[in-house]
Amino acid sequence: MSDKIKEILSQMTLEEKVEMCSGADFWNLKGIERLGVPSILVTDGPHGVRKQAEGADHLGLTDSLPATCFPSAAGLASTWDRNLLTKVGRTLGTEALSEKVGVLLGPGANIKRSPLCGRNFEYFSEDPYLSSELAASHINGLQSQGVGGSLKHFAVNNQEHRRMSTNAVVDERTLREIYLASFEGAVKKAQPWTVMSAYNKVNGEFASENHRLLTEILREEWGFDGIVVSDWGAVNERVASLKAGLELEMPGSYGIGKKKLLEAVESGELETGQLDESVEGLLELIFKVVESQKNDVSFDKKAHHNFASEVASESMVLLKNEDQILPISKEKDIAIIGALARKPRYQGGGSSNINPTELDDIYNELCQDNTADVSYSEGYALDGDQVDDALLQEAKNHAVQAETAVLFLGLPDAYESEGYDRTHLSLPENQLQLIEAISEVQSNIVVVLSNGAPIEMPWLPKVKAVLEGYLGGQALGSAIAKLLYGDVNPSGRLAETFPVRLEDNPSYLNFPGDGDEVEYKEGIYVGYRYYDKKNVEPLFPFGYGLSYTTFEFGNLEVEESKDGDYNVKVSVDISNTGDRAGKAVAQLYIKDVETTISRPEQELKGFEKVHLEAGETKKVTFDLDMRSFAFYDVDLQDWRVEGGKFEVAVGSSSRNLELSQTITVKDSHTKPEKVNRNTTMGDLMKNPEQAKIVENMLASVETPLTQHMDENSGMSDMMEAMTKYLPLRALSNFSEGKFTEEDMQKYIDELNQASTPTV
């Protein structure tokens, strides 16, 4: 604690301390004028600065001040580009400073458990490694400018349905490997100034008053040194939340929280020492923000808009390109069809809604520099599913006269938003009918999608190309034009699996739960982990994306770990074998070949995006560590590497791994589990020293087992298979009492003294 903060804390009254633990109002933290403690402003993000205008509505959902609207997290994640996310964070930081914003509330690192979650557009991925790496990059960029990040929503917040009361029931291993891991890397690599607790309960306790999450794991295990702020209105019981490790309740609770904290201190329920720790953290945050603020900060709105266009172009994913219909020549007549081409859906609904500094008109962008005829027809109405025959006919008339029809389709605002979940993965009926109608008169159809999460595509055979645009921010129009015309080569890759149908999703039977309880029965098998393990063919796999050029991977080199330190260096060459420049995404996956527990077929543990000129080759390197090979051992309450063979595979998607090598890694925990009467023969036979003792034990007493032992080779294959899961205690039954309890205990003691196996 600095001397300044120590001095302020010593002069604060009890009432001032408890007042500081709640917001002054909806967006400002409480200051103390007499002690020179200013109030600071926090505001929503994460893909833009949403500062509420004076006199706007209470929630600030409208009339926010203009700011650059970047693609939402679903698109940002599809860039697979740490450096780009850092630059986005820096840009957001500059804009936040210009408005005197101290903390920008984001990014969101919740796992995409189901494609139905209405807020998936605001989250990065179904994979915790990709999510945490990109979140860390975003936060590092933001905080480099002196604006705090707020990593949210901690934790297990994966649906909007009953989000303020639902109880997420998830087993410990799944919690650690999937849902917490998505936050862990971001906390350790970026140290966000704040972490925002979620609305929901986690295994029976509200996240905002969950001591294990907020103190034991977040602070003590991960080393988080910032403050925990509640999601707006997430505090259930203020005293319990502060004791659990939540310093700041937002928004202000009109004296309710203050009253409860005062009574708790006066009754002895809350120790003054813990209250002081919370206030100390808040003072540190306030003065960190104050010291970072700069006067007269401004930014070039046009330059930021152009950067948003660059980001959007890298966030879009080319899913299909039959007959190389894309890119489109600017000399071709094209029919632009779809209301979304003139009224674009460029961001999601809810608290992250940005008032953009400007907004591209997609149709106008496509008309620029095009020397041929570009027509437009509405095709469908955005307000509802009703099919309009007149609009359909007009669209058909335009399509039949053009060389190519470009259909702008997607999910209207009402289909996905903060506050509620989707109920299906289909496009609106009027858009489905549009595809059918245009396919009757035009064979060259390109679809451009605007949506925050996966959709089903039963219409895919009827179109030649699909560009997944996600929610591309205010500059989506220029980005789409550059991609369709080939001025920019598509480089986005899916950060989530697109299922053929909703029923294929692993959470289908358990989403959104019954009443206020949702059980995560699919366990660790989320996203591609499930599709790979179950051998279910997705519509488009995790990591997938096409380009206008081609890439080849070669010369995979994998170093063996030395001295059991798990530091493994992997390198691979990537060559651009096409005729134009492009960006490849090298993806590295690890598979435990000899696992004795249930593990995914493969897990993403490295990725790098690289720009290559036509004909160019570059070497990409990855550094693996212990966590690259580990699973969470619930019995040990720690991460563990089970020694043995691991496959290291590199390729362009989870379903296209071109190169692989196998290495051997040592067990991270050499102390064997203690042998007891229920330890099985099979487990004992894995250890060479213990196996000898078992064979001597069996030879010492005549049982049906010993009668089938081979004198030359010990236990026969047949008997070894039969006894694999036989516990030690069962020998008493089979020996007709000749193998006594005393005999068994003698051998248990001897087995526990045996040396451990080496890998």
Concerning whether 333 is annotated as a catalytic residue, the answer is no
- Sequence-distant (6+) residues with CB within 8 A of 733 are none
Cβ–Cβ < 8 Å for 17, 275: yes
CA distance between the termini of the chain: 48
For residues 454 and 373, what is the distance between their CA atoms, to the nearest angstrom?
A: 33
For residues 71 and 78, what is the distance between their CA atoms, to the nearest angstrom?
A: 10
For residue 62, count other CB atoms closer than 10 A to its CB. Answer: 11
Beta bridge partners of 320: 466
For residues 505 and 528, what is the distance between their CA atoms, to the nearest angstrom?
A: 10
> Which amino acid belongs to residue 59?
L
For residue 659, count other CB atoms closer than 10 A to its CB. Answer: 16
Cβ–Cβ < 8 Å for 718, 727: no
- Classify the C-alpha dihedral 692-696-697-698 as positive or negative: positive
The burial of 207, by beta-carbon neighbours within 10 Å (0-12 exposed, 13-18 middle, 19 or more buried), is given as: buried
* Phi and psi, residue 671, nearest 5°: -75, 120
For residues 94 and 146, what is the distance between their CA atoms, to the nearest angstrom?
A: 9
CA distances from 303 to 57, 147, 263 (A): 30, 21, 53
For residues 324 and 307, what is the distance between their CA atoms, to the nearest angstrom?
A: 28
Token pair, residue 174, equals 């799944």
Find, among 535, 544, 530, the residue nearest to 493 by Cα.
544
For residues 571 and 624, what is the distance between their CA atoms, to the nearest angstrom?
A: 11
Cβ–Cβ < 8 Å for 572, 557: yes
For residue 606, the SS3 value is strand
DSSP 202: E
> Which amino acid belongs to residue 350?
G
CA distances from 502 to 171, 469, 538, 654 (A): 24, 21, 11, 20
Token pair, residue 508, equals 């289908």
For residue 178, the SS3 value is helix
Cβ–Cβ < 8 Å for 247, 282: yes
Given 81, 231, 532, 633, which residue is catalytic?
231
Find, among 706, 686, 710, 690, the residue nearest to 698 by Cα.
706
For residues 134 and 136, what is the distance between their CA atoms, to the nearest angstrom?
A: 5
**Where do the H-state alpha helices sit in 204-271?**
211, 238-244, 256-267
The burial of 730, by beta-carbon neighbours within 10 Å (0-12 exposed, 13-18 middle, 19 or more buried), is given as: middle
Residue with structure tokens 């095009």? Answer: 370
Q: Would you say how long the chain is, in residues?
A: 759
Residue with structure tokens 């219409």? Answer: 459
DSSP 720: H
| CA atoms lying within 13 Å on the CB side of residue 429 | 6
For residue 557, the SS3 value is strand
Find, among 679, 624, 627, 520, the residue nearest to 222 by Cα.
627
The burial of 11, by beta-carbon neighbours within 10 Å (0-12 exposed, 13-18 middle, 19 or more buried), is given as: exposed
Rg value, the chain, Cα: 29
- Catalytic positions are 231
